[in-house]
Structure 1
Amino acid sequence: MEEFVADLIKSEDDELLFNEIMTRYGQDILQLAFSYVRNKQLAEDLTQDIFVKCYKALHTYKQNAKLKTWLYKIAANHCKDYLRSWYFRKVMVSEKMAEMTGSSSENVEQAVLEREEEQTLANAVLKLPMRYREVIYLFYFEDMSLKEIESVLGVNQNTVKSRLKRAKVLLREELEGFKDGK
């Protein structure tokens, strides 16, 4: 996939390259934005802004890094900037997690229990402070390596490891509280 993008970059057909980037990474960027803002409509708006930003910055992409890593770095920075903005501080983000993926279980009772567990886990992740939530999302949901997360977030790999470890502890505590009926 990266070779195809490299060929498009060499061809200097920015429109074709941009369309390919949106097609291949649009859903991933939307999910990343959602992990930051926890609101589907807002995540869609941010995703649009992110792709505009990427289009304007296409000439800055250096092929020594993966395109996905470059896109995620732009997306993560844009989302963080938005969260720090005055506008966001005035807006109440009330929507919880969007539709979770459907269960493959044929047993209705089992499907309900699985969905409840998925929702509980999703809510626990969304309750984490941003620095922990982003590493959990990138590591487990996007299957990024520690090195890629380091590059996306602009922090040392040891920091990524410690945040991941702390996030797991916080999740465990949150989920134990749920299990105990709190």
Structure 2
Amino acid sequence: MDSGALLRAIGRGDRAAFTRLYREVRPAMMAHAAAILKGDFSTAEDVVDEAFTDIWRLAGKFKDINNAPAWIRRIVRNKAIDYLRKPASRETSQESAFFEHYEDQAPNPEEAAMIDDDSRWLRSALAILNLDQREAVVLCYFEAMPLQEIAQATDCSVNTVKTRLHYARRKLRGWMEAQNQSSAAPEPANNRDIPRLKLVS
């Protein structure tokens, strides 16, 4: 069942469909939200859960079933940008209660340590990019989205996406060179580093 069909079922109050949609698209939505939030995965988790609360509430009003993935991504994107614009603390107890019945997929301590190391390193790298560049990098390299889909997801032209990626690669290349020259340069715990993202002009 595709996301459009799942949304239609969610609109009828089908919690099983909601659970399936949440589990299927959450990893990609987490990556997108974290990119906007400069690698802040903790806040990204709150953003995605808030977005899915809205999806549950609004699914019955959604009509363009063929455009479901873009609609879901837009909700997540707007939530993340809203967090950037309004950094004040938010009430998340309702969202926490809403999702508390889902299976706990938290990593074990060793995995958590590796993720934490990678998260700090990735946050440092993403911090040198502006919002548009961060989105383009994550959608292109981490989610392997075609340029046309990235353009649709970020409301810009394909040429604009190419320009953002070009300048992002150039910034990241300079940042990595500076890191390599420093003896204290942090290294990702599982060796998944940005040089593997084919940083070429």
TM-score by length of 2: 0.65
Distance 1:99 1:153, change over 3 A: farther
| Cα shift at 1:169 | 0.9
Change over 3 Å in CA distance of 1:51–1:8 after alignment to 2: closer
In the alignment, residue 12 of structure 2 is paired with which amino acid? D
Give 5+ residue unaligned stretches, structure 1: 89-97, 102-114
How far apart, in 1, do the equivalents of 2:122 and 2:6 lie?
41
Q: Deviations over 1:12-65 (max 9, x none)?
A: 534233222112112322232222223333222111111012222323251332
Question: In the alignment, residue 13 of structure 1 is paired with which amino acid?
Answer: R
What residue number does 2:19 align with? 19
Provide closer, same or farther for how the CA distance between residues 100 and 163 of structure 1 changes in structure 2, counting only shifts above 3 A. farther
- Counterpart residue type for residue 34 of structure 2: F
Which structure carries more relative contact order (alpha carbon 8 Å, separation 6+)? Answer: 2
2:176 corresponds to which residue? 175
The answer as to whether partners of 1:150 and 1:157 remain within 8 angstroms in 2 is yes
- Give the match for residue 42 of structure 2: 41
Query: Which structure is higher in helix share?
Result: 1
Closer, same or farther in 2 for the Cα pair 1:47/1:180, shift >3 Å? Answer: same
Letter aligned with residue 140 of structure 2: F
For residues 160 and 19 of structure 1, the distance between their equivalents in structure 2, rounded to whole angstroms, comes to 33
Percent of residue pairs identical: 27
Residues 1:166 and 2:167 aligned together: yes
Distance (Å, rounded) in 2 between the aligned partners of 1:127 and 1:10: 41
Mapped contact 2:9–2:17 kept (Cα < 8 A): no
The corresponding residue for 1:6 is 5
Matches within 5 A, 1:92-111: 100=114
Deviations 1:85-121 (A, max 9, x none): 2527xxxxxxxxx7556xxxxxxxxxxxxx88x9756
Following superposition of structure 1 onto structure 2, how do residues 144-155 of structure 1 map, counting pairs within 5 Å? 144-155=145-156
Moved over 3 A (4+): 10-14, 98-101, 118-122
Question: When the two structures are aligned, how many residues end up with a matched partner?
Answer: 158
Tell me which residue corresponds to 1:70. 71
TM-score, L = length of structure 1: 0.71
Q: Describe how 1:48-67 pairs up with structure 2 within 5 A.
A: 48-58=49-59, 59-65=61-67, 67=68
Runs (5+) with no aligned partner, structure 2 = 90-111, 186-201
Q: Measured at CA, do residues 143 and 99 of structure 1 come closer, stay the same or move farther in structure 2, by a change above 3 Å? A: farther
Q: Which amino acid aligns with 1:164?
A: L
Distance (Å, rounded) in 2 between the aligned partners of 1:130 and 1:8: 29
- How far, CA to CA, are the matches of 1:124 and 1:55 in structure 2? 34
